Amino acid sequence: MKILYIISIRLTFLMIICCNIVKADDLASGKISGTVKTSDGQPAAFVTVSVKELNRATSTEADGTYIISSIKPGNYTVVVSFVGTQSQEKRVTVTKSTTTIADFTLTESSSKLNEVIINANRAPKPVSLDKANIRPLDLPQSTGTVSSQVIEDQQINRLGDAVKNVSGVSLTQTRGGVGETFSARGYSIGITGASSSIFKDGVLTNTAGFPEASTLESVEVLKGSAALLYGNVSGGLIINMVTKKPQFESGGEVSMRYGSYDMFKPSVDVYGPISENVAFRLIGVYENDGSYRNHVYTIRKYVNPSLLFNLDKKTTLLVEGDYLRESLTPDFGIGSLNNGRAIPTMVPRSQYINTSWAYSHMNQFSGMATLNHQFNDNWHLNAIISGQGTDIDSYQASLPNTVSATGDWNRGLARANTIENDYTGQVNLTGKFKTGSLSHQLLIGTDVTKVVNVTNGYSVAGQNISTYIYDKINTIDLNKYTQRTDIPNATDTSRTTAPVYRLGTYAQDLVSFTDKIKMLAGIRWSWQETDQTNIQYLLKQTSGVGTALTRYDRAFSPKLAFIYQPISTSSVYASYSNNFLVNTGTDVNTGQALKPSLVNQYEVGSKNELFDGKIIANVSVYRIINSNLAVVAPFKADGTVNSDNTVKELSGQTTSDGFDIDITGHISKNFYFITGYSYNNARYTKTSGLKGSPILGERLVISPVSTANATLFYTFTDPALKGFKVGATAFYTGSRMAGYNNTVGQTQAYSRLVPVSGFTTLDLSAGYTYKKISLLASITNVTNTLNYLIHDNYSITPIAPRQFLTTLSYKF
């Protein structure tokens, strides 16, 4: 902790020094300001104003005003332009510490300009991560965005490949080769059901089977507590996938991606207008992929149609759907030795220990409708309804949790046939207004979610499949025993239906006391109902209910932050927010369902736009405390010893401290870089000596101590090399713990933790573009580093070795 505070103090001083340097430079320069009006004297909003010699631009506000700061003394040309209008220019002279006025009057009237604006902005704007379109310097929370340019340059195929570009976010689990989970700030996120923290265009989504990256326009990450806007989500992060939308200009792209292990992936993306007020987009992808893991394959078919309707000049309706059919080999890695005490480093990276016939088939479809209505320049309404269905049919070996020290494993079986249906709706009203001298940016919203899971239970040879032993193998030497190759008949014995309902209402206001001092305050009320499960016993033709009764969880989630902006390009903030975790079990004192655990987060940070916005430098320091962690109660209410693990009390505690640093730059149109570093110390800070309590000071499993990322790409403009592009990307994932955290009084004679060391991978890229044709190639994990991702429980999966990947595309 002492080291953490020293680092945070030094970072804060560094930011203050940078701010003072920029401020001093600001005083030695001038500004250009003015008003743009239409021919009939009305203010012209959203018009682009640029300084030709500096390649800098801004947009006019709702009242037609604009300002461009930090301009060195000299003569410049100011240009006013907008799509569909005639541009205008004015020569101005800027002097030290003064504001030069340059007003413009357009040749178009206000009604004509309104038509131009509507036509030019027909492409729908996605739901912003903060739902209120707060500008980055005013948002008191650490965020990250992976742009379409990065997705294209890094040839990203999976969501996990994208989010590694955000500091502090790491791919932690591979979930049997059928999905990905991620962690940040000591907390991991789920991929399915009401526990998911992954969204698509602002809507909760099931990401089992891997989302298709070909449809991604960008990926947004909000780090830390997001309960105010999203309810019961991870305290570490949420991820929002922004998809490509219809356009009123015709175009598209066809591409072929080919890589190591016979990976090939053709795709097509076509968009354009159907009529004056209707546009479409259609994305189709086929993927056939081998693997560095023996016997592992993936076959995917994906289609994503969407339509955009301009209902009137202020209202748009976006209708989207997608369908994914996927067949892949479930793969939980290479296990571990001695029931989780050791990593089997002698096992080859390619060794596969599942059954030879293991399979997983998934059908997933979704539909969504988004209505946007602009009441006026200041007030906007957004409404979304969506539905998603995920059907998974899989059969494989059970998880390798009980492998001996020599590698012997009595292999069991796991059969799953699950259906998850997700239904969501949300409405958000945003507005800007003033009360006296105070400016407000208000958000009021509500969201509702219904998640229904249907799972089947199975038996094999007359016994529960969970106790059935299929065969015996040795995970180190697969030739030691003869493996079975037959597929036992698994009989459906039960079907369990588990509904969950969520409802939330929230309000948030960004109040500007002055241009420099602001406050963000908000609160959310959340309600969640987890119904008692319904069970159909298929063999007996009877029905019943689960032992857990219907439970109701309620929580308030406040947020309060203060923002200080010493200059227009820098801000410093301090914030408090909380999250809540839904618990299972009953309270030892009341006998009722255990209340949610409230998790408090404190964060301070600084955001800076340097060198005319070409470099963005942000830092944040945080502390997250779960001071009422649910632990098993040592005694029942009557004083007798408690032997029921479902009887608990809120008396444990975890603490997560750390900081994130992000520096990104778009130095010119042909050169950009992304860098980031994150440190986290998530551990148990209170045990109370209770049964089931963790060991004091022990790190939480899964979360790495440090992560770092660095990417740069350069496109040559010299005539001799014009069209060539080169790039490099490096990722570091620090040491972390697999397995389970230990408990006080555990009967095991050894630690349940499996330490996994840190690792770095390096990727190199090169490409060439000629007119509409481009070729991009990369070598990933150039150094052929061997390390592991953590699977559920005690298993680990080797990371991919050195591989080759190339994409040939034609844009039209």
Q: What is the pLDDT of residues 272-305, one digit of tens each?
A: 999 989 999 999 999 999 999 999 999 999 999 9
Q: Bigger pLDDT: 47 or 556?
A: 556
pLDDT at 702: 85
| pLDDT score of 116 more than 90 | no
> Band of the pLDDT at 112, cuts 50, 70, 90?
low
Please tell me the number of Cα atoms within 13 Å of 809 on its side-chain side: 23
Please name the residues in contact with 27: beta carbons below 8 A apart, sequence gap of 6 or more: 97
SS3 state of residue 220: strand
Q: Output DSSP code: residue 642.
A: P
Amino acid 74: pLDDT: 87
On whether the CB atoms of residues 563 and 520 are closer than 8 A, the answer is: yes
Residue 179 is given by DSSP the state -
The predicted pLDDT at position 805 comes to 97
pLDDT higher than threshold 50 for residue 16: no
Which residue, chain included where needed, has tokens 């066809």? 254
Which of 6-20, 82-96, 592-606, 761-775 is least confident?
6-20
DSSP state at residue 337:
B
User: What is the rounded CA–CA span in Å between residue 602 and residue 8?
Assistant: 14
pLDDT (tens digit per residue) in 196-242: 789 999 998 988 878 899 999 999 999 999 999 999 888 899 999 99
Identify the CATH assignment for 290-811 out of 2.40.170.20, 3.40.605.10, 3.40.50.1970, 1.10.10.10.
Answer: 2.40.170.20
- Which residue reads 């507005």 in tokens? 431
Domain boundaries, the chain: 2-120, 136-242, 290-811
Q: For the residues 436-457, what does the mean pLDDT come to? A: 95
Outline where DSSP puts E strands in 135-202: 143-146, 170-173, 181-184, 187-188, 198-200
Could you write out the DSSP letters of every residue in 435-481?
ETTEEEEEEEEEEEEEEEEEEEEEEETTEEGGG-EEEEEESS-TTSS
Please give the C-alpha separations between residue 799 and each of 293, 300, 334, 671, 704, in angstroms, as whole numbers. 10, 22, 11, 30, 16
Q: How far apart are CA 393 and CA 552, in angstroms?
A: 31
Please give the model's pTM, rounded to 2 decimal places. 0.83
d(CA 366, CA 387): 6
Place of tokens 């743009």: 36
Distance CA 57, CA 35 (A): 15
Measured between alpha carbons, how far is 405 from 338 in angstroms, rounded to an integer? 4
Q: How confident is the model at residue 509 (pLDDT cuts 50, 70, 90)?
A: very high
DSSP state of 378: S
% of the chain residues with pLDDT over 70: 91
Q: What is the DSSP string of 124-151?
A: PPPPPTTSS---GGG--S-EEEE-HHHH
Q: Class of the 2-120 domain?
A: mainly beta
Cα(131)–Cα(524) distance, rounded to whole angstroms? 14
pLDDT in tens, 160-202: 899 999 999 988 766 666 778 888 999 888 666 666 789 999 9
Residue among 606, 636, 155, 198 at smallest CA distance from 388? 198
Cα(617)–Cα(571) distance, rounded to whole angstroms? 11
Would you state the pLDDT for residue 807? Answer: 97
pLDDT score of 409: 95
The correct CATH number of 136-242 out of 2.30.42.10, 2.60.40.1190, 3.60.15.10, 2.170.130.10 is 2.170.130.10
| 771-774 own/partner pairs: CB under 8 Å, 24+ apart | 772/810, 772/811, 772/812, 773/808, 773/809, 773/810, 774/807, 774/808, 774/809, 774/810, 774/811
* Local structure of 159: helix, strand or coil: helix
**Token duo for residue 364:** 């997933």
CA dihedral defined by 125, 131, 132, 133, rounded to 10 degrees? -40
In the beta sheet, which residues pair with residue 543? 536
Residue 508 CA to residue 517 CA, distance in Å, equals 17
Measured between alpha carbons, how far is 504 from 506 in angstroms, rounded to an integer?
A: 7
β-partners of residue 553 are: 528
Task: For residue 297, give the H/E element and its range.
Answer: none
Top-confidence residue, 563 or 135: 563
Q: What is the pLDDT of residue 3?
A: 43
Check: CB of residue 170 under 8 Å from CB of residue 182: yes
| pLDDT mean over 70-99 | 83
Residue 645, pLDDT > 60, answer yes
